[in-house]
Chains A and B, each alone.
Chain A
Amino acid sequence: MLDKLFYFIMVPMVYVAVAWCVFWIVVKIVKILRAPTTPPTLRIFPDDKGPEDRNTGGLPAALWDTFTMPSVLKYNPLLWVFLVVFHVSLAVLFLAHLDLLPQVNIMSAESADMIGNGAVGALLTASILYFLFRRFRSPLRELSIPADYLLLFLIFLLFLSGDLISWGNSWSESGFGLAKQDFGLYLRNLFAFDLSDPRQVLDHPHYAIVVSHVFLANLFLLVLPFSKIMHVFFAVPMNALRRG
C-alpha cells in the first residue's frame, strides 16, 4: 500500500501537479489579459522626471525596480537583504535542480554536492524563517492572513526536506543514502515519460525522505497558481504600470 502511495507521489502526482500548475497559470494570465484595460496612466514620477519626460525608462526601469527593489532597500534594508538572499538563492536552487540531470554538468558529474554545497538551502531556509517570524510581530501580524502563514510553512517544510538530502550529501561523512546522480536518473526518467517505479533507481531506506520532498514540491505546484507567488509573473507588469 505504502509502495503504491510512494509511486503515486513520485510519478503520476508530479505530472498532475506540473500540468495543473501550468494550466492555471495560463488561465490566470489570460483572465488578466482579457480584463478591461487600466486607466490611461498609473505613473509615478521620480524626482528627476517631469511631466514632459516621455522617457520613463520603460521595461528596463521596470525590470530594475523588480529585481533590485530600490524602495524596499530605502525603507526596510533588513527585509531587502533577506529578499535578495532569498530570490538569488532561489535562482541558484533552480540551477542546482537542473544540474541533477545527467546532461547538465554545472558541478562535476561525479560530485556529491549540489551547487553551493548545501549553503543555498541554508540561506533559503533562514530567509523563509525570517519571513515567517516577522509575521508574528505587530503590525504585520494584524495584516497577515492564514494563507500567508501556511504558504510560508509549506515552503519551509519543502526546503527543510531538501536540506536534509543536500546537507546529508555535503556535510556528513556517510552522506545521504541516495546520491545526486541517483536523483538525476529519476529526473531523466520523468522527463522521458518513463513511468517505471523510481525505486529502481532510488533504492534505499532514505527513499521516504525523497518522497516527502517530492510530495511537498507537488503540493507547492498545486497551490502556486492560486497564491501570491504569482507575483513571479506579474511583478514586472505591475512595476511597468508605475513607471508609466
Chain B
Amino acid sequence: MDGKMKQELLDVFASKLNQSVRMYMDNCARCGACIEACHVYASSPETRYTAVGRAQNLRRLFEKYHKYSGKIAPWLGEAVELDDNWMKKVYETAFTCTGCRRCMTYCPFGIDTQQFQAMAKAMLIAADMEPKVLSMLADVSVAKGENIEATKANFAEACRQLEAEVIQKWQQEAGKETIPLDVKGAHVLYVALAGKHSIIPAAAIMNAAGENWSLSYFEAVNFGAFVGNPVVTKNIAQRIIDEANRLGVREVAICECGTAYRVMRHMTGTHDFKVITFLQLIERYLRDGRIKVNKAVNNGRTTYHDPCQIARNGGVYEAPRYILSRLTDDYVDTNPTKSANWCCGGGGGLVVVGDKDFRMMSAKVKADQVRATGAKVLATGCENCHSQLSDVNEHYQLGMSVEFVSSMAANALVR
C-alpha cells in the first residue's frame, strides 16, 4: 500500500468517527459479555469471530492514529499500522459479520458492531477491496433509478406475463388490474424484489383484500446498504421515496426483505407516508377480515425464523406470528426466539458475496436451533434469510420446507 492510499484510507476511517463510534472505540471494557452472542463464534469458537474481536481490528487502528496512548506506548493498546495485511483484518470485520446486532443485546453498553462493520466496509470500498458483485448490483440499482422512463415499458410487459400466475392464486373481479402500476392516489405502494416470487403472492393477497395498490417500478433490496456505501444506500432508497411521493400513496409496503425494510423504515427519516413490512399488511387484512385463509393448506409443524433486520432491528415480531397462527394449528417458536433469535448467517450481503463454505460453517448453530423445533416448515419473512436457510436446509439435511410467510398466506387464500 503506498503512502497516498494509506492516507486516503485513514481519512475514510476518520470520517466515520461519529459520536457513537467514538464512544464505542473508547469504552469497550473487553468484558467478553458479547463473546457467546455471535452465531459465527457459536458455530466455530474462534475469538476473531466474536463481536469484540472484530471491533478490535478497528480499535487498534484508532489506538494508533487517534489516541495519545497509541503514540506514546503503542504496546499498551496493541496499536497497529495500517497496511495491506491489516486490511485483511478489516475485511474480516466487514464480511464475516452479518450486521445482525445480536451482540448488541448482550453488551452492557449496547455497543453496535454494525457501526464497526460500516466503517470497515467504507475502508474496503476506498481500497477497492469490497466484493465487486455488491457494488455492481448497487450501481445497477442507481442506474435504473436514473433511467426509469426507458425501462417502464419493459417492466410493464414483464408484469403482464405474471398475471396468469397471480390469477391462479386469486381471480380478480372483471375490469380490475391484476398487477397495477403507476396508480395515482393508491393506498399502498408495494415494493417487491426483482423476482416473480416476490410479486405473485403479494399481488394475489392484495387483490383478495380489494386493496387499492400499485406495484413499484423499483426493487426493494438495497445493495448500497450491503456494500456499506451510505450515499448509494440513500440514492437507492430515494428512488422509492420519490415514487411514493409522486403517486401520493398512504403506505409503502416493503416486500419480505429485511434490509430494505430497515433502511426505509428506520434510516430515511420521516415521510408523508407510512413504511410497513408486507407482513404487517397481511396481518391487518387477516385481522380486519379482508382476506380469509384455509388452515388445511399448510401441513406439518411450522416454525418461524425472525429475520434480524425485521425483528430485532425493525421491531416486527407479532405480525408474522399472527399470520402463522391463522395458517396452522401446529406452530412452535424457535429457542431462542424474537430479539434473541440466532442470525441465519446470510445477512449483510453475505448470501450475495458467495463464500458458501463460510456461510454454512457459521450457520451450524442455526441448523441445530431449527432442527430442535421438530418443525417440517421453516417460515421466514426475508429474501436473504430464505436463500440462506434453503442452503442450510440442504447442507445440514434438515428435511424442512423453507417458505416465505407471504407465499404460505397466498397459497391458503379462500373466498
Contacts and interface: CB of A to CB of B under 8 A. Distances in A.
Given A32-B19, A49-B315, A228-B30, A238 B106 contact: no
A45 B106 CA distance: 13
B33 A45 contact: no
A192 interface: no
Interface string A52-72: 110000000000011001011
A199 interface: no
Contact of A79 (B20, B31, B105): B31
Given A44-B312, A139-B50, A226-B68, A32 B317 contact: no
Contacts of B20: 38-39, 42, 238, 241
Most buried by B among A65, A139, A239: A139
Interface string B93-133: 00000000100111111111001000000000000000000
Most buried by B among A134, A146, A238: A238
A215 B402 CA distance: 65
A44 B105 contact: yes
Nearest to B67: A226
A234 B32 contact: no
A238 B313 contact: no
B338 interface: yes
Contact of B19 (A37, A145, A150): A37
Most buried by A among B33, B265, B312: B33
Interface in B26-76: 26-33, 35-37, 45, 47, 50, 52-53, 56, 67-69, 75-76
B56 to A, nearest CB: 7
Q: Majority SS of interface residues in chain A?
A: helix
Most buried by A among B18, B31, B75, B339: B31
A31 interface: yes
Contact of B316 (A28, A51, A79, A230): A51
A131 B75 CA distance: 21
Q: Majority SS of interface residues in chain B?
A: loop
Contacts of B18: 35-39
A142 B27 contact: no
A206 interface: no
A173 interface: no
B222 to A, nearest CB: 14
Contact of B32 (A37, A53, A139, A145): A139
B24 interface: yes
Nearest to B110: A242
